Amino acid sequence: MKWLNEEDIENIAIGAAVLGTGGGGDPYIGKMMALSAIKKYGPVQVITVDELMDEQWVLPASGMGSPSVLVEKIPSFEQLAAPLKAFEKVSGKKTDVVMPIEIGGVNSLIPVAVAAMNRIPILDGDAMGRAFPEAQMVTFHLDGLKPEFVTIADEQGNTVTIEPADGYWSEKLARNVTISMGGSSIVCDYGITGKQAKKSVIPGTLSLARQIGALLKEQRTAAVHPIVQMLDILGGYKLFKGKAMHIERGIQGGFTRGEAHFEGIDENANQSCTLFFQNEHLLAKVDGKPIAMAPDLIAVLDEETGMPITTEGLKYGARAVIVAFPAHEKWRTPIGIETAGPRYFKYPYDYIPLETLVKEHSSK
């Protein structure tokens, strides 16, 4: 993968919906944005973290807000261009490389569109190794960096530049600006040098998303079941097989929040599973006991096609396989757990690694 082709982009869209743990909105909207930008502005080259030069300037670009809103008002090229332009103006730094702030739905492919529009490469890596709901939940924050600027644009022609006191203020102010803008926006934050990127970025996640997407598309022809292969690659676990029953979902504080209840089928007959989400799935319980929790990843796959189902896409009656993967080691540190562990999200649990929870559960 040196230049992204249409198949790469489709595969990234699918794989990112898995790594995005249910968040990030309809991946096909991201695919559409990236492809239309490439068609208009030309192809996008992928650069690995190793290939970055220390003095190059790397800028993340992403969508912010409720994915439920984003899919209702798809960003224009003008809106996609504005935050990078504003960031360059306020920082005085020309962007050499665009990067995804997270791997998840639309946010894996918005930076591809922004890279195409600026005729610069995209970095194969991100600052979460998954998707998280809040702006300060990035490896830069874990490494003690604060976002010097956050630039935000809407589809009305408004642009806002924040110089926040710290990462938490960047989240609070950018979130409220996004709500004022109608619930979704395009954002650039945490510009970094190539040198810093080598230290903080989780490398290879765009390629990983592409690989997983390609795998899952093979569903019907593969000898070994693609979900099994995927779990193998990600060191993950199949948690539950069930049918979606009651789903509570609402837009609250600029997020899509809710719970999804599943009734077990086949090997999980007579069991129940509940997923709790704030844009992304953050906690999974089986029969009332936690089985996976943030920062570890939780994904819902269609039982028949193997395709990931986002929190927006989940409907009553869907037959699904719920899987989980360990988070990148950066998230399993004290600061990682403090930043994005269950207690931060107000769940009354100390973080327990997925592997331990699964072992405890299966030994009962």
Footprint on this chain of its own copies (rule: CB under 8 A): 86, 89-90, 156-165, 169, 172-173, 176-177, 179-181
Beta bridge partners of 188: 61, 151
Residues 114, 109: Cα–Cα separation, whole Å: 9
Residue closer to its own copies, measured from CB, 19 or 179: 179
Q: What one-character DSSP code corresponds to residue 328?
A: P
- Residue 290 contacts residue 298 (beta carbons within 8 Å): no
Phi, psi of 347 (to 5 degrees): -90, 140
DSSP codes joined into one string, 182-201: TSEEEEEE--EEHHHHHHHS
Of 68, 192, 180, 66, the closest CA to residue 138 belongs to: 192
Q: How far is the CB of 100 from its own copies (least distance, A)?
A: 25
Handedness of CA 100, 101, 102, 107 (dihedral sign): negative
Residue closer to its own copies, measured from CB, 158 or 219: 158
Q: How far is the CB of 175 from its own copies (least distance, A)?
A: 8
Residue closer to its own copies, measured from CB, 132 or 149: 149
Q: How far is the CB of 173 from its own copies (least distance, A)?
A: 5
- Residue 107 contacts residue 64 (beta carbons within 8 Å): no
- Residue 360 contacts residue 239 (beta carbons within 8 Å): no
Q: How far is the CB of 83 from its own copies (least distance, A)?
A: 11
Residue closer to its own copies, measured from CB, 169 or 344: 169
Q: How far is the CB of 250 from its own copies (least distance, A)?
A: 20
Residue closer to its own copies, measured from CB, 164 or 313: 164
Q: How far is the CB of 158 from its own copies (least distance, A)?
A: 5
